[in-house]
């Protein structure tokens, strides 16, 4: 038994080292090749609430303030809600609405509706979740509808026998599917990579804390034109 625990702990350390080393190489490569733009330090602190109405029907509520310009002001606020139907134990289909106003450099209102497919599965060694989302966006001063596709993959590696602590890695990639006048350009939009720790406080609450790198393509000459270094603190509530 003690030998197997040592093997598991060794595996955890190896995974942690590999992920951190990969992130360092990724950031170094951005500096060396594709990146030539601005950087900012930000804090994002989303709160998510999931509520089950029946065994198959769920509600989702989200409040997410984002503080930018070296955490000196609120850059953006995301308010989302959605209704989900559990197709199977591990698969759910959602329809949602979001209001996501931006405040800097000027106030811009944006309304969205979105559809998403979420798959979540727990395994003995790791918990995984994938979310694929299609957004229809109505942005102030942009005629027509901007359509964006995004897909997220999240893993949680338990760090103790009780599975209260976990190492979380998460990556989400975004693509704009069209180019409305004065709006987002079609093609690659951004990528977000997160590495942090998750703690299950109780059966109703768990918390993520860690670092997120947001690499944004603003349509200029290089692939990434903006890098945001984000302290991400997110709270998951189950009603």
Q: What is the pLDDT of residue 220?
A: 61
Report residue 144 as tokens.
């027509």
Q: Which residue has the higher pLDDT, 2 or 109?
A: 109
CA atoms within 13 A on the CB side of 149: 6
Report residue 186 as tokens.
């079609």
pLDDT in tens, 23-46: 555 555 555 544 557 899 999 999
Burial track 76-108 (b if 16+ CB lie within 10 A, e otherwise): bebebebebebeeeeebebebebebebeeeeee
Q: Is the pLDDT of residue 204 over 80?
A: yes
CATH number at residue 65: 2.40.160.40
What is the rounded average pLDDT of the residues 63-83? 96
Q: Is the pLDDT of residue 5 over 80?
A: no
Q: What is the pLDDT of residue 105?
A: 86
Which residues 6+ apart lie within 8 Å of 20 measured at CB? 195
Q: Where are the beta strands (DSSP E) in 87-186?
A: 91-99, 110-122, 127-139, 146-158, 165-176
Residue percentage of the chain with pLDDT more than 70? 82
Length of the chain, please?
Answer: 239
pLDDT in tens, 115-149: 999 999 999 999 999 999 999 999 999 999 999 99
How sure is the predictor about 7, in pLDDT bands with cuts at 50, 70 and 90? very low
Report residue 154 as tokens.
């999240």
Range(s) of the domain holding residue 116 = 2-238
Q: How many domains does the chain have?
A: 1
């Amino acid at each position: 038994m003690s030998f197997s625990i040592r093997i598991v702990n060794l595996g955890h350390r190896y995974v942690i080292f590999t992920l951190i080393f990969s992130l360092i190489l990724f950031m170094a490569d951005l500096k060396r090749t594709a990146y030539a733009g601005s950087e900012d330090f930000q804090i994002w602190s989303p709160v998510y609430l999931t509520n089950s109405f029946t065994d198959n029907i769920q509600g989702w509520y989200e409040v997410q303030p984002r503080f930018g310009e070296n955490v000196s002001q609120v850059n953006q606020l995301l308010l989302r809600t959605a209704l989900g139907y559990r197709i199977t134990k591990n698969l759910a289909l959602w329809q949602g609405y979001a209001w996501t106003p931006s405040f800097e450099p000027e106030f811009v209102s944006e309304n969205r509706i979105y559809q998403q497919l979420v798959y979540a599965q727990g395994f003995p060694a790791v918990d995984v979740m994938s979310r694929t989302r299609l957004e229809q966006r109505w942005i102030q001063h942009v005629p027509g509808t901007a359509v964006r596709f995004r897909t997220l993959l999240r893993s949680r590696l338990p760090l103790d026998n009780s599975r209260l602590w976990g190492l979380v890695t998460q990556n989400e990639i975004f693509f704009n599917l069209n180019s409305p006048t004065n709006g987002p350009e079609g093609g690659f939009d951004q990528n977000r990579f997160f590495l942090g720790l998750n703690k299950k406080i109780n059966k109703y609450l768990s918390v993520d804390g860690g670092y997120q790198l947001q690499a944004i393509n603003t349509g200029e000459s290089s692939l990434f034109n903006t890098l945001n270094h984000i302290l991400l603190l997110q709270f998951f509530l189950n009603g």
